[in-house]
Amino acid sequence: MKNILYKSLEESGKILKSYMDKDFAVESKDIVSNLVTEVDKRSEANIIDIIKSEYPSHNILSEEIGAINKDSDVKWIIDPIDGTINYAHGIPICCISIGIEKAGEIVMGGIFNPFSGELFFAEKGKGSYLNDKPIHVSEESVLDKSLLVTGFPYSTGNNPNKPVEVFAAFVNRDIPIRRLGSAALDICWTACGRFDGFWEYNLNAWDVAAGYLILTEAGGKVTDFEGKKYSVYNKEILATNGRIHNIMLDVIKGVKK
């Protein structure tokens, strides 16, 4: 499956690069700021065609078309462009993300930013890699010395998860925080030690499936906001180097009380 995963990432990467800074159709989905472009759809169709050519009986869950269910215990979880708003505005902080789930467990994942040329990959039990070189999470153990990254849901007003308030709680500790616009890359950059921790609300399986495995195989820790076992079908994620995980949980829980 690795060869097909790589082929899907690289071929769709060519599509993203070919349309960058050109005119293409952009639409809104459920709300104005939730965008989909014709490039998302072309990237998605390309990935699905490649997968079906080799594994026609496998299940697929993809952001734009939803679920294609077959009689299989393998599911390909696809985000054809993670960071669509960035892409639509010519900002090259975006990627293609593909996770592979087998019998309910994420066993392989790849994330590719064709503009930086960085391809992150992990296979269950075999570690994580950036362009075929092993990666590991950072060793920072002091939250106030950490560099964090986050994202916000499309709708933050009156959100019961209090995303703005949680953000403020970290900012008020004078902790530097970045907001890049691609959850998949945020997780990968935590996996390779550029960031020490990441949290976000209201994500979907295609946003996190590959990144979850890449980060855990790099030595990191992922839970929900209660510190409970994580599933890629959860709507909330805390992903860290493991060393600052519990104190980040304490900050989040303190706001949500």
C-alpha 40/C-alpha 36 separation (Å) is 6
Q: What is the pLDDT of residue 32?
A: 57
pLDDT value of residue 163? 85
Three-state DSSP class for residue 28? strand
pTM exceeds 0.85? yes
Edge-to-edge, what's the strand order for the sheet holding 128-130? Answer: 66-68, 59-62, 74-82, 95-102, 105-113, 118-123, 128-130, 133-134
Residue ranges per structural domain of the chain: 2-134, 143-256
In whole angstroms, what is the distance from residue 167 CA to residue 217 CA? 27
**pLDDT at residue 159 in the model:** 67
CA proximity to 96, closest of 108, 113, 84: 113
- Hey, how many other C-beta atoms are within 10 angstroms of the C-beta on 152? 15
Cα angle, residue 13 at apex, residues 12 and 16 outer, rounded to 5°: 90
**Per-residue pLDDT at 149:** 98
- Report the distance separating Cα 125 and Cα 160, nearest Å: 37
> Domain 2-134: which topology?
Fructose-1,6-Bisphosphatase; Chain A, domain 1 (3.30.540)
Residue segments in the chain with a per-residue pLDDT below the cut of 70: 29-35, 154-160, 257
Cβ atoms 216, 190 nearer than 8 A: no
Q: Which of 9, 225, 239 is nearest to 117 (CA)?
A: 9
CATH number of 143-256: 3.40.190.80
DSSP state of 229: B
pLDDT of residue 33: 54
Q: Quick check: 171 and 115 in contact, CB under 8 A? A: no
Interatomic CA distance for residues 172 and 53, integer angstroms: 52
